[in-house]
Amino acid sequence: MAFNFSNIIEEARLSARALIDYSDNLFNPTIRLGVTGLSRAGKTIFITALVHGLSRGGRFPIFESMATGRIAKARLEPQPDDAVPRFDYEHHLRTLIDDRNWPHSTVDISELRLVVDYQRKNGANRTLTIDIVDYPGEWLLDLPLLNQSYEQWAAESLKLSMQDPRVRLAGEWHAHLATLSPKGRENEQATLTAAKLFTKYLRECRDEQFAMSLLPPGRFLMPGNLAGSPALTFAPLDVPAGGEPPDGTLWAMMRRRFEAYKDVVVRPFFRDHFSRLDRQIVLVDALTAFNAGPEALHDLESALAGILDCFRIGRSSLLNSMFRPKIDRILFAATKADHLHHASHDRLEAILRRLVERAAGRAEYAGAAVDVVALSAVRATREAQVQRGHDRLPSIVGTPIAGETSGGDIFDGETEVATFPGDLPTNLEEIFKAGAFRGLAAGDAEYADYRFLRFRPPHIADRGPDDTILPHIRLDRALQFLIGDKLQ
């Protein structure tokens, strides 16, 4: 970001807010935990399972303070930010347990306050407040826009759209783009059409068949109450990177709206929410990228590098806490580990570690702790051995979501099946090579090398949500890393 007067004002606002948060924390120890991830990564499920497990006494043998009985009670309290929607924990829990459906994806920011009464190792009784901030990962990918001009963003977006498989999805938008003259007079209808076709292209890139991750501006796919506003009505034009638009031109109009998007959408998110986080978990749906193909895997790698570049990271100190807070722990979690046999979990972790290794190295150099885990916040399957001829195959058993297909079968959403999910590759460098494997994006699902099914939540025969223990894989390990040191 260029260092100018507006940036000085913005930094002053951030420091003032940090000082207020620091003062409150002296009397009420609080940790702000950010939970994010790109589409379909399972943010809502993770938060619901975390809160339910802490408040209902889940089975968390790796989470030391709970395993040793030092946590006396965890309870929900009203959230502190009146302008932020509350995370609808109760509704999401009913959806999981009663309806056996996965909650809807995150489309906006929300918060939840959880207060934990615990005993320190020295015997003193203490209270820790955990403010959980849930926000779409697509919003994180908007933060680099603060450092870009309209011309730079347009050039990068156009270059990306020329690569396979994106170029196959961008035809209609590219055709309209060819009719536009950047130095022609500003035209509202042409701009509306360009924004509509550009958004359609982004939406098709996000489809499960292609599973692209680099899709800024994020609010184009999640407009909320800004739908139809000028701040969300612009698109890339083919303009020179260092040029200046003449007044009254289409180019000038697009640039003005791009800057409005940063002022109305990106900067408030950074100032009011993102810059205040202490800890962060980034949930990653690597299996969907495998389903789509190697292009999706490379795109995910670039997106995760961009996400880590956005964080203010480093070792926490008194001065930082007072004036410039930093995220001192980041956990990358590969979700849907229950879709694999446990023998492949270490491979899933290794793949995720490879995806984030360059960016994670920078974070660790700055003093932040970074870890990687394969988890399932709510385990939808169980493991079994299935006899096939003379072989016994390590398999998983669960209820595929209605409409899922495998080997020509279409599942009804009610029938439990045993399936052999296959093994993830062991040669990490090989799978990152172009054309290393065939995915759904190639156009023929029958010949895709990987096809991980989606399963319904487990059937839990119990007296009700108050008595239910949700099964999980390594949720306790995630909690130990994210907040275990605060409960010593």
Reported as a single tens digit per residue, the pLDDT across 377-410 is 999 999 998 877 777 888 999 999 999 988 778 9
One domain, residues 158 and 238: yes
User: How many domains does the structure of the chain reveal?
Assistant: 3
Confidence of residue 2 (pLDDT cuts 50, 70, 90): very low
Question: Which of 171-185, 383-397, 455-469 is predicted least confidently?
Answer: 455-469
482 part of a folded domain: yes
Alpha-carbon gap, residue 140 to 152, rounded angstroms: 18
Confidence of residue 457 (pLDDT cuts 50, 70, 90): very high
55 part of a folded domain: yes
Domain C-terminal end among 223, 246, 265: 265
One domain, residues 477 and 350: yes
One domain, residues 347 and 481: yes
208 part of a folded domain: yes
The answer to whether 31 and 486 are in contact (CB under 8 A) is yes
> Among residues 237, 337, 333, which one has the least CA distance to residue 284?
333
459 part of a folded domain: no
One domain, residues 307 and 431: no
One domain, residues 173 and 46: no
The answer to whether 378 and 459 are in contact (CB under 8 A) is no
Confidence of residue 15 (pLDDT cuts 50, 70, 90): low
More confidently predicted of 456 and 243 = 456
One domain, residues 475 and 329: yes
Q: Cα-Cα-Cα-Cα dihedral of 306, 312, 314, 316, to 10°?
A: -150
The pTM score is 0.88
One domain, residues 479 and 351: yes
- For residue 478, the domain's CATH number is 3.40.50.300
One domain, residues 232 and 302: no
One domain, residues 202 and 226: yes
DSSP 118: E
Whether 317 has a pLDDT exceeding 60, the answer reads no
> Mind listing the pLDDT tens digit for each residue in 17-62?
555 555 555 557 999 999 998 878 999 999 999 999 999 988 999 9
The parent domain of residue 213 ranges over 146-265
> Mind listing the pLDDT tens digit for each residue in 333-355?
999 999 999 989 999 999 999 88
Predicted local confidence at residue 402, as pLDDT: 95
ω before 78 within 30° of 0 (cis)?
A: no
The answer to whether 395 and 406 are in contact (CB under 8 A) is no
One domain, residues 279 and 353: yes
239 part of a folded domain: yes
Enumerate helices (H) and strands (E) in the chain, giving the number of each: 17, 12
As given in the structure block, the two tokens for residue 291 are: 């389903």
One domain, residues 104 and 151: no
Helices 188-206/250-261 angle, 10° precision: 50
